[in-house]
Structure 1
């Protein structure tokens, strides 16, 4: 665990599990920007530490990089011992998944049982373990937010993607079960379906340029190939966290304006 110390947050901890160069990093940056101490977790500690350095420097926030393998329950327990040593976890975002080789369909006859089990372990069993680590503290305080990242494979079986779909179906079911059990106790649980291809962050300068354009046509042109901006998606995660409990969202789907039929 590395601490990128700059300023001290008076809020709880935002734990972001599954931080890569796109959505996970953008979510971590958003919560750091809003004043949270952030723990970012993934398998590649070297890359994770670079992200922590970057976010801490840009947002003047306190960021911790912690290695985790979501397919191993022992790794999850050890990682969250580190997270919980930082303080109360107010936000858990579970963004981990087992990537599909080259994102190409695999004939069911060719799917290896080890690969299938690993996908289930990362997509849903890992989410189960992470949620169990933070829920007792959230229930004790009567507040907290758990957000699970899904995709279109959470809703529809897709030929050639049985590993991904089964893991994501189970994650959606877990989210619904936890919402019904724990929302009456003050814990907001929501499932976010990403129905599109996430691109690279466009950055503050790109966002300002887009806002300055006056015509819809110019805005659409600036958005290029229709990929989704992870910084924009991250703002939705933040809005879910700060929702008034009188009208909590339990599931939301996000897609680009020029949405096509995506397979995952």
Structure 2
């Protein structure tokens, strides 16, 4: 077990997930990265070799309650009791209402909302007992409004926002800062660059800049906590 503070990042992809890992690691955090696929974790590990024993990875399905409990117990055993949870997982299938199957609809909700509930349920009691902790949930513009062909994004994100509000009101008085971050725009990721190689830098959200905001939420004075904020490029219409 380490003597460093520990953060769990669920959804450790090559964009925001990796940027969050780098930002928190600079402050001395040990990192537990969780993703569904082992190759995602292998890529992240290859970018974070300087962390040595401060980095552990866990391949798990965030929608499986037993798997989530197993991961949380392993993180505590390997790195110590987590004081930060960042839920950054999600997935959706664009399409009209009759184009999306019930299975696809449920899968999007399970990844985008249920997984956050499962991880928070496993970790919040210990944070409350310690009287400190941070839970940061990655939202989207779809948390505010449902758009045509995006029900599988809006429904999970509406739920995630409601979950953040409920958890903040329950656990905030116990010393745990819960915040919901609305990502209002496209994040600059390798996948986006493959699809849009000519996209101008100033039109997309920079992962490192987003990660800096997450860090500032973590260190916010509890006398002036943020429950929700929204981030977008300066040129993004809103």
Fold shared by both chains (TM-score > 0.5): yes
Partner of 2:139: 150
Mark the structure with the bigger radius of gyration.
1
Q: Distance in 2 between matches of 1:11 and 1:225?
A: 36
Return the TM-score normalized by structure 1: 0.82
Q: Distance in 2 between matches of 1:84 and 1:121?
A: 24
Q: Say if 1:56 and 1:73 are closer, same or farther in 2 by CA, change over 3 A.
A: same
Match of 2:159 among 170, 174, 199: 170
1:240 matches 2:232: no
Return the TM-score normalized by structure 2: 0.91
Shift of 1:137: 1.0
Q: Distance in 2 between matches of 1:119 and 1:47?
A: 19
Match of 1:71 among 45, 52, 63: 63
1:18 matches 2:18: no
Post-superposition CA distance 1:108-159 (Å, at most 9, x none): 1121000011111111111000001111110111000000000000110111
1:28 matches 2:5: no
Unaligned stretches of 5+ residues in structure 2: 191-198
Alpha carbons 1:55, 1:61 under 8 Å: kept:
no
Partner of 1:213: none
1:111 matches 2:100: yes
Unaligned stretches of 5+ residues in structure 1: 1-7, 202-221
Over the aligned positions, Cα root-mean-square deviation in angstroms equals: 1.8
How many residues align structurally?
229
Partner of 1:42: 35
1:117-136 correspondence runs (5 A): 117-136=106-125
Alpha carbons 2:202, 2:235 under 8 Å: kept:
no
1:257 matches 2:234: yes
Q: Distance in 1 between matches of 2:39 and 2:189?
A: 20
Match of 1:88 among 74, 81, 87: 81
Q: Distance in 2 between matches of 1:159 and 1:119?
A: 16
Shift of 1:171: 0.4
Q: Distance in 2 between matches of 1:60 and 1:74?
A: 28
Q: Distance in 1 between matches of 2:201 and 2:114?
A: 37
Q: Distance in 1 between matches of 2:155 and 2:202?
A: 29
Q: Distance in 1 between matches of 2:101 and 2:58?
A: 30
